[in-house]
Protein backbone atom coordinates (compact mmCIF):
# COMPACT_ATOMS: atom_id res chain seq x y z
CA UNK A 1 0.00 0.00 0.00
CA UNK A 2 2.86 2.26 0.78
CA UNK A 3 4.25 1.77 -2.68
CA UNK A 4 0.91 2.80 -4.19
CA UNK A 5 0.84 5.99 -2.12
CA UNK A 6 4.41 6.79 -3.11
CA UNK A 7 3.56 6.11 -6.75
CA UNK A 8 0.51 8.41 -6.49
CA UNK A 9 2.55 11.20 -4.91
CA UNK A 10 5.21 10.86 -7.56
CA UNK A 11 2.58 10.75 -10.28
CA UNK A 12 0.75 13.80 -8.91
CA UNK A 13 3.96 15.78 -8.51
CA UNK A 14 5.09 14.77 -12.00
CA UNK A 15 1.68 15.75 -13.44
CA UNK A 16 1.81 19.12 -11.67
CA UNK A 17 5.35 19.80 -12.93
CA UNK A 18 4.39 18.65 -16.45
CA UNK A 19 1.25 20.87 -16.40
CA UNK A 20 3.16 23.92 -15.19
CA UNK A 21 5.96 23.35 -17.72
CA UNK A 22 3.52 22.78 -20.57
CA UNK A 23 1.50 25.88 -19.60
CA UNK A 24 4.64 28.00 -19.40
CA UNK A 25 5.91 26.77 -22.78
CA UNK A 26 2.50 27.27 -24.37
CA UNK A 27 2.30 30.81 -22.97
CA UNK A 28 5.83 31.65 -24.14
CA UNK A 29 5.38 30.33 -27.67
CA UNK A 30 1.86 31.70 -28.07
CA UNK A 31 2.97 35.14 -26.89
CA UNK A 32 6.10 34.92 -29.05
CA UNK A 33 4.02 34.30 -32.16
CA UNK A 34 1.76 37.29 -31.47
CA UNK A 35 4.70 39.48 -30.50
CA UNK A 36 6.62 38.47 -33.61
CA UNK A 37 3.64 39.30 -35.84
CA UNK A 38 3.35 42.70 -34.15
CA UNK A 39 7.08 43.22 -34.54
CA UNK A 40 6.97 42.40 -38.26
CA UNK A 41 3.98 44.69 -38.88
CA UNK A 42 5.66 47.52 -36.97
CA UNK A 43 8.88 46.96 -38.89
CA UNK A 44 7.11 47.15 -42.26
CA UNK A 45 5.24 50.26 -41.09
CA UNK A 46 8.56 51.83 -40.08
CA UNK A 47 10.13 50.96 -43.43
CA UNK A 48 7.16 52.47 -45.27
CA UNK A 49 7.36 55.66 -43.21
CA UNK A 50 11.11 55.96 -43.78
CA UNK A 51 10.56 55.53 -47.51
CA UNK A 52 7.79 58.15 -47.45
CA UNK A 53 10.04 60.54 -45.49
CA UNK A 54 12.82 60.12 -48.07
CA UNK A 55 10.34 60.82 -50.87
CA UNK A 56 9.20 63.99 -49.09
CA UNK A 57 12.81 65.10 -48.57
CA UNK A 58 13.48 64.65 -52.30
CA UNK A 59 10.37 66.70 -53.14
CA UNK A 60 11.45 69.44 -50.73
CA UNK A 61 14.88 69.52 -52.36
CA UNK A 62 13.30 69.75 -55.83
CA UNK A 63 11.01 72.59 -54.71
CA UNK A 64 13.93 74.41 -53.10
CA UNK A 65 15.88 74.17 -56.38
CA UNK A 66 12.85 75.54 -58.25
CA UNK A 67 12.56 78.44 -55.79
CA UNK A 68 16.27 79.18 -56.13
CA UNK A 69 15.92 79.09 -59.92
CA UNK A 70 13.19 81.75 -59.75
CA UNK A 71 15.77 84.18 -58.37
CA UNK A 72 18.17 83.49 -61.27
CA UNK A 73 17.25 85.65 -64.31
CA UNK A 74 18.88 83.22 -66.75
CA UNK A 75 16.85 80.27 -65.51
CA UNK A 76 13.63 82.25 -65.14
CA UNK A 77 13.08 82.28 -68.91
CA UNK A 78 13.50 78.51 -69.05
CA UNK A 79 11.02 78.02 -66.21
CA UNK A 80 8.46 80.27 -67.87
CA UNK A 81 8.91 78.45 -71.19
CA UNK A 82 8.39 75.10 -69.43
CA UNK A 83 5.02 76.38 -68.24
CA UNK A 84 3.97 77.47 -71.73
CA UNK A 85 4.95 81.14 -71.74
CA UNK A 86 6.88 82.43 -74.73
CA UNK A 87 9.02 80.68 -77.30
CA UNK A 88 12.68 79.66 -77.52
CA UNK A 89 15.03 82.65 -77.59
CA UNK A 90 12.34 85.07 -76.45
CA UNK A 91 13.07 87.29 -73.44
CA UNK A 92 10.10 87.06 -71.11
CA UNK A 93 11.15 89.16 -68.18
CA UNK A 94 12.42 92.64 -67.52
CA UNK A 95 13.94 93.75 -64.29
CA UNK A 96 13.63 97.51 -63.92
CA UNK A 97 15.19 99.27 -61.00
CA UNK A 98 12.33 100.90 -59.10
CA UNK A 99 12.47 104.61 -58.40
CA UNK A 100 13.17 105.71 -54.88
CA UNK A 101 10.07 106.36 -52.82
CA UNK A 102 9.69 109.86 -51.41
CA UNK A 103 9.45 109.83 -47.60
CA UNK A 104 5.96 110.48 -46.23
CA UNK A 105 7.04 113.44 -44.08
CA UNK A 106 8.43 115.18 -47.16
CA UNK A 107 5.28 114.52 -49.15
CA UNK A 108 2.99 115.84 -46.40
CA UNK A 109 5.11 118.90 -45.61
CA UNK A 110 5.28 120.05 -49.24
CA UNK A 111 3.22 123.06 -50.43
CA UNK A 112 0.43 121.94 -52.68
CA UNK A 113 -2.23 123.70 -54.62
CA UNK A 114 -5.89 123.37 -53.67
CA UNK A 115 -8.09 120.95 -55.55
CA UNK A 116 -11.21 122.01 -57.43
CA UNK A 117 -13.37 120.45 -54.72
CA UNK A 118 -11.62 122.42 -51.98
CA UNK A 119 -12.02 125.64 -53.96
CA UNK A 120 -15.72 124.88 -54.52
CA UNK A 121 -16.32 124.20 -50.80
CA UNK A 122 -14.51 127.39 -49.81
CA UNK A 123 -16.57 129.35 -52.33
CA UNK A 124 -19.83 128.02 -50.89
CA UNK A 125 -18.84 128.48 -47.25
CA UNK A 126 -17.27 131.82 -47.89
CA UNK A 127 -13.88 131.22 -46.36
CA UNK A 128 -11.97 132.38 -49.40
CA UNK A 129 -8.49 133.60 -48.50
CA UNK A 130 -8.38 135.95 -51.48
CA UNK A 131 -11.06 138.24 -49.99
CA UNK A 132 -8.87 139.21 -47.07
Is the distance from CB of 92 to CB of 85 less than 8 angstroms?
yes
Is the distance from CB of 35 to CB of 43 less than 8 angstroms?
no
Tell me: the pLDDT tens digits for 34-71? 777 888 899 999 999 999 999 999 999 999 988 888 88
Comparing 28 with 123, which gets the higher pLDDT?
Answer: 123
The mean per-residue pLDDT over the stretch 88-101 comes to 68
SS3 at position 91: coil
Delimit the domains of the chain by residue range: 2-131
Task: Read off the DSSP letter of residue 85.
Answer: -
Is residue 21 over pLDDT 80?
yes
- CA 79/CA 85 separation, integer angstroms: 9
Amino acid sequence: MEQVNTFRRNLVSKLIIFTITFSALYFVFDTYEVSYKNYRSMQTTLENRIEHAETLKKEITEYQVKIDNLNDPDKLDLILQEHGYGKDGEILHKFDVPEAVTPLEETIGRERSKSAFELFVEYIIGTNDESQ
